[in-house]
Amino acid sequence: MKKLIGIAAVSGAMLLALTGCASGGSAASEGPKPLDELVVGFAQVGAESGWRTANTKDIQASFEEAGIELKFSDAQQKQENQIKAIRSYIQQQVDVIAFSPVVETGWDAVLNEAKAAGIPVVLTDRAVDSQDDSLYVSFLGSDFVEEGEKAGQWVLDEYADASEPVQIIQLEGTTGAAPAIDRAEGFAEVISANPNLEVVASQTGDFTRAGGKQVTEALLKSNPDVDLIYAHNDDMGLGAIEAIEAAGLEPGVDIKIVTVDAVKDGMQALADGKINFIVECSPLLGAQLVDIVKQINDGETPEKRIITEETTFTQEEAIEALPTRQY
Amino acid sequence: MSALAKMASSRLFWPVVMLLVLFAINLVAFPGFFEITVRDGQLFGSLIDILRNGAPTLIIAVGMTLVIATRGIDLSVGAVAAISGAVACSIILGSPDPGSLATVAVAVTVALLISLVLGVWNGFLVAVLGIQPIIATLILMTAGRGVAMLITEGQILTVNSPPFKFLGSGFWLGVPIAVIIAAVVFGLAALLTRRTALGMFIESVGINPEASRQAGVRARGLLFAVYTFCALCAAIAGLILTANTAAADANNTGLFIELDAILAVVIGGTSLAGGRYSLVGTLVGALVIQTLVTTVYTVGIPPIATMVFKAAVVTIVCLLQSPTTAEALSGFRRRLAVRSGKGVAAS
């Protein structure tokens, strides 16, 4: 009996908490707040790579510069941690919640809670897979297909005069991950314009250096005449460099390398002439996120899909950009 | 005939056949598979790659074999590998002279010493507190990767240190260093357990701890020893993996290698129920696993189907090895022999 009373008390408290949220939500939509009263909750994936750390630092710096309070949490690559963080932001009645979803699915429940509380949600860097796109206001991130297209375009231009077949090895990202699927798709689409460009082998290196190295080692033996390697991220490209050097060849000369990301180690290899071209996948989206938050605060509706401003690097551009590179 | 029959009944028969079948598949897909050339004074070829990339798995599998022989299991090897790589790289990065041999020697020694502590911890949980090995080592498996993350501060630590890199991709007299290290670990384990009574003690603890205690075998000390040895093996493998790319990646170094190592032991015919073990079997098992990976690349199996392909091969090996299948097969052979008029004598 005591237990029952306890449960009733807890659920009563939860109801109160819920109504509290709802009233907080309506308060938020009353009109623009001064910037220094805004509170934004950001739930980050983790700190799994140099790319991610740069992403975190840039977001923190951008909000500090704008004078907006940022509550930050690190989910250590676990969805349940991220859901907990988002729930706590809902309870704290922040004005905007932003997060990079660890995985694509399983967000409907918590995002519905945010919606019920009237707190707008912005996705950064990665998308969620949900039928209901009213659950978030905007998705700010890279267009992975376009990254693949940019890589393909460089290859197309580089081998525009090729009269003989050009053999290409593709190092794919983690099987099933959105960047891996889209970067392959964009690349294939563009290089199909020249029938001489042929992907002779395509295997996954799991976005890691060790994976890139091992796959390249094996593929170099079965395809000794390969001309170019297209890696879905810098790390696999760096692994490929090791494998090419071990085979007594010169990376960047005997076998050309094109990668995506432009993290520091990759840029260094590009500047050293071991990689030929890098398509940037920029983690620096803090400024654009601040803009979205300001728009929401002013009562405007931001674009549903905002693409990060990104560029590409040749070897010369890398030498120039390297000293001021943040990540 | 009887030699052939004896071979067929050996626990190693099917794993070896599987290895040969995989070699044959590779040879068909890529005629130069067995070619070994000397390039820049180093051996170069697919088989060398298999040996070199399989070395870390083999080293861990050797430690795992002894643990499994005591009816235990060590799930924490991947995490220990990640920690040792992270420790070594952060020491090298923190030193004023990352390229010097002394720095690397210190880094490697510290990493190995830490792994001994981790091994003693596992041994303590299993031997003193009596926690089931799968649970005891699960603790370090989950926590260990977190420790590695703390050491690297979540970054991939890239080191520029030729002596350290040598561990992973160097050669000595044309043979990859990783292969030499694996051979030494394998040889030492074989020598220590097979040329002394140690191996028998380990097996007796695995078969019946109580009976062996009454016979005067000190199980507690043995358990400490095998878990510490296994952690040491994991650390050595972790150093090779890290040195291979000259970068410590706390998230990915040695990820799922515990499963590969356990699989290598099982393919090699050592039972998870403890007792009799075969180090040679483990060697064959590790080679099968690494050849499988290479086969996927050479044959060009699409990444989406890779897991299914690997699962199919492993399932076939396990089915062929199972006692029920063996019985059915030997019955079939007997009938064949009878039919061909040679009688029972031939079998």
Out of A191-195, A278-282, B196-200, B312-316, least confident range: B312-316
> Which amino acid, one-letter code, is at B218?
R
pLDDT at position A317: 92
Q: Per the CATH hierarchy, to which homologous superfamily does domain A34-141+283-309 belong?
A: Response regulator (3.40.50.2300)
pLDDT at position B277: 94
Chain A residue numbers touching B291 (CB-CB < 8 A): none
Joined together, the tokens standing for residue B206 give 């695995």
Please list, in sequence order, all residues whose beta carbon lies within 8 angstroms of the beta carbon of residue A245, skipping any fewer than 6 positions away.
Answer: A251
Out of A12-21, A173-182, A200-209, least confident range: A12-21
Query: In terms of Cα–Cα distance, which of B262, B285, B282, B244 is closest to B49?
Result: B244
Of A208, A214, A221, the CB nearest to B252: A208
Are both A34-141+283-309 and A144-281 of the same fold? yes
Tell me if B304 and A47 make a contact (CB, 8 A cut-off): no
Please list, in sequence order, all residues whose beta carbon lies within 8 angstroms of the beta carbon of residue B116, skipping any fewer than 6 positions away.
Answer: B228, B231, B232
pLDDT at A15 over 50: no
B43 to chain A, closest Cα gap in Å:
10
pLDDT at position A48: 66
Domain count, chain B: 1
CATH number of A144-281: 3.40.50.2300
What's the whole-number average pLDDT of chain B?
Answer: 90
Mean pLDDT of A178-204: 93
pLDDT at position B4: 64
Residue B15 CB neighbours (<10 A): 27
Of A172, A239, A248, the CB nearest to B303: A172
A50 to chain B, closest Cα gap in Å:
6
Mean pLDDT of A53-68: 90
Residues of chain B where predicted confidence (pLDDT) is lower than 70: 1-9, 341-347
Q: pLDDT digit string (tens) for A297-312?
A: 998 999 999 998 889 9
Chain B residue numbers touching A176 (CB-CB < 8 A): 304
pLDDT at position A19: 43
Express the helix, strand and coil content of chain B in percent, nearest 5 each: 75, 5, 20
Chain B residue numbers touching A210 (CB-CB < 8 A): 241, 244-245, 249, 252-253
pLDDT band of residue A26 (cuts 50, 70, 90) is: very low
Mean pLDDT of A41-64: 85
Mean pLDDT of A58-71: 93
| Domain presence at residue B41 | no
Q: Which chain A residue has the Cα nearest residue B36?
A: A221
Out of A20-34, A102-116, A218-232, A267-281, least confident range: A20-34
What's the whole-number average pLDDT of chain A?
Answer: 87
Give the domain range for residue B270. Answer: 54-289
B42: Cα within 13 Å, side-chain hemisphere: 17
Judge if ipTM > 0.95: no
pLDDT at position A195: 93
Mean pLDDT of A69-73: 93
Sequence spans of domains, chain A = 34-141+283-309, 144-281
Of A76, A211, A222, the CB nearest to B298: A222
Q: Which chain A residue has the Cα nearest residue B250?
A: A48
pLDDT at position B307: 84
pLDDT at position B8: 65
pLDDT at A10 over 80: no
Tell me if A242 and B247 make a contact (CB, 8 A cut-off): no
B20 to chain A, closest Cα gap in Å:
18
C-alpha span between B76 and B328 (Å, rounded)? 38
pLDDT at position A176: 77
Tell me if B245 and A215 make a contact (CB, 8 A cut-off): no
Q: pLDDT digit string (tens) for A224-268?
A: 999 999 999 999 999 999 999 989 899 999 999 999 999 888 999
